[in-house]
Amino acid sequence: MAKAKVKLLKTLVWSVATYGCESWTPRKANEIRINAFEMKCLRFVGLLRISWTEKRTNGWVLQSEGAERHLLKSVKKTKMTYFGHIMRKKDKCLDKEIVQGTTPGDRPRGRPKTSWLGNIRL
């Protein structure tokens, strides 16, 4: 029963939560939120029904359910798949120019923003 619930969670909830993740530029705080969302879902959906007030570590929850974290990994894999799709396009494609950062113009003053391509390189 628990495996069926986890399978439903992955197909129904995570597909909605990660819709459009190809265009995300997640920073460290966003990665922490993605991991927290995954653990919250696993705690609630799992057969154990662990309340958030109980003093259980995330490692204990994952071990007792026989699961592992992979939501953030799947988001990064989807981004890399999309990146490969964009890079295989023709030379004069607007998507490819935007991703590579070859569009004309200057960035405003201040700290450089985290770009989509810079996030892929990390």
pLDDT tens digits for range 14-28: 999 999 998 888 888
Segment 49-59 shows an average pLDDT of 83
Instruction: Tell me how far apart the alpha carbons of residues 121 and 19 are, in angstroms, rounded to a whole number.
Output: 22
Tokens 């029963």, located at residue: 1
pLDDT at 67: 80
Evaluate if residue 115 carries a pLDDT over 80: no
What confidence category does residue 102 fall into, taking pLDDT thresholds of 50, 70 and 90?
Answer: low
Segment 47-62 shows an average pLDDT of 81
Evaluate if residue 76 carries a pLDDT over 70: yes
Average pLDDT of the residues of the chain: 84
Q: Counting runs of H as helices and runs of E as strands, what totals does the chain give? A: 7, 0
Residue 93's Cβ-side half-sphere holds a number of Cα atoms within 13 Å equal to 11
pLDDT at 1: 58
